[in-house]
Amino acid sequence: MDGTRIRLLGPVDLLRDGVPDDVPGRSLRTLLAILSLRIDEVVSRDQLVEALWPGYAPTTAVNTLQRHLSSLRGLLTGVATISARPPGYVLSPVPTTTADATDVRVAERLVAKSRQSLDPIEQAVLLRGALRLWRGDALGGVVDSAYLSGQMERLARLRSEAQRGLVRARIAHGEGADLVGELEDLLSGAPYDEQLHCQLMLALYRAGRQAEALAVARRLREVLAADLGIDPGSAVRDLETAILRQDATLAGPVAGRARLPAQLPSTISGFTGRRHEIADLDTRLASTRHADSWPAVVISAVSGTAGIGKTALAVQWAHHVADRFPDGQLFANLRGFDSSRPPAEPSAVLRGFLEALGASAARIPDDLDAQAGLYRSMLADRRVLVVLDNARTAIRSGLCCRVRPAAWRW
């Protein structure tokens, strides 16, 4: 469901086209939370009554519950239906929606997919996408009940798994200094966690802080001995020894560069003229370069009426400067003016780019934001020319802004 989604990872509400739509009243939020956590399952009337009035249901509880459900149905028009089905009620997404009717399902899917991936970059993209869904503690603004308290704990564990998985993926990718503060925050709530201590030691070592890395091991040894009467496990001891030896393997893997795409169409034989326009594009490119530093994104547009040679000019110039983009060139026809076919979808364009950069089809996320994140990761610190042909509108051509490569469009 792209337009509207039920949000549970934070204060319970609806998200309509990116805009939060508050669900009024603790009772309605509680009913929405319970039914949404059990989509397409029958939730008994007794469970709903107990959730709304834990331990003290009034004599009017059933009638009040029905009124609340009627109000909730009105709020969910076009999003989901609530049907009476003995012994209770069931919430079902409308047929036009997807299986991801709630942010919880999106997060669960992204975390599960990260477990299946062997690529730390893809794992990080998926887990960042999951963590972005949280807006504080899950299931905010509901009536306190045994069932929802258990669900809060479950979703807190899911969030923790995503956080820790993201740290592991970033460590596996060779990061260090940027992780120190995050690991220290995680350890504040897990003082005996040896895996987190090892990760902090490694992050500090990669940041050039060898003495501090060894101090982490000493403090852990003291805490475990004083509080639990045990010594650290072999993982801590082995890492401590490796740090003392300055083992070269601790520096982390050297990130392999993606294969170089070369997707530019052939130039037109006998191309002449357009010297002024080519010189102008050269000037724009040169003005963005300062020594060896390049900006995050450079966008230029070649516009004009149909048939005046925009594509020929852009392709000719792209070949002219291709050597200034040593990490390759990507090309896509957005089909903004093709009467025989619909405009290209951003997800399809991104998928083609990712495959050209070396991502296997099985590892490319289905979610558009996750695809864009993986694309940005694969282009990080690289100089790639991206050429988007036949962009009909600024929204369509905004694909290049979304993914932030160096790009030219026309």
Residue 31 gets the label, from left (phi > 0), alpha (psi -120 to 50) or beta, of alpha
Backbone angles phi, psi at 332, to 5 degrees: -150, 140
CA distance 363 to 14: 30
In terms of pLDDT, which residue wins out, 99 or 387? Answer: 387
CA distance 12 to 139: 6
What pLDDT does residue 398 have? 42
CA distance 340 to 335: 9
CATH number of 105-251: 1.25.40.10
- Residue 311: in which H helix or E strand, if any? helix 310-321
Confirm or reject CATH 3.30.300.130 for domain 275-409, answering yes or no.
Answer: no
Q: What would the pLDDT profile of 202-219 be if each residue is shown by its tens digit? A: 999 999 999 999 999 999
What pLDDT does residue 261 have? 83
Q: Where in the chain is the domain with CATH 1.10.10.10?
A: 4-99
What pLDDT does residue 253 have? 67
CA distance 317 to 311: 10
Q: Where in the chain is the domain with CATH 3.40.50.300?
A: 275-409
Q: What would the pLDDT profile of 270-280 be if each residue is shown by its tens digit? A: 555 666 766 77
- Any bridge partners for residue 300, and if so which? 408
In terms of pLDDT, which residue wins out, 299 or 325? Answer: 325
* For range 288-292, the mean pLDDT: 44
* Length reported for the chain: 410
What pLDDT does residue 368 have? 87
- Which of 251, 261, 291, 203 is CA-nearest to residue 379? 261
CA distance 162 to 156: 10
User: Among 169-178, 233-242, 282-291, 316-325, which stretch is predicted with the lowest mean pLDDT?
Assistant: 282-291
Confirm or reject CATH 1.10.10.10 for domain 4-99, answering yes or no.
Answer: yes
Alpha carbon of 290 to those of 90, 127, 293, 294, 295: distances in Å? Answer: 61, 35, 6, 7, 9
Q: Is the pLDDT of residue 290 over 60?
A: no
Whole-prediction pTM value? 0.64
Residue 166 gets the label, from left (phi > 0), alpha (psi -120 to 50) or beta, of alpha
Q: Average per-residue pLDDT in the chain?
A: 83
Q: Which residues 6+ apart lie within 8 Å of 331 measured at CB? A: 263, 264, 265, 386, 387, 389
CA distance 10 to 138: 4
> How would you label 69-83 residue by residue, b for 16+ Cβ within 10 Å and e otherwise?
bebbeebbeebbebe
Residues 66 and 52: beta-carbon distance below 8 Å = no
Q: Where in the chain is the domain with CATH 1.25.40.10?
A: 105-251
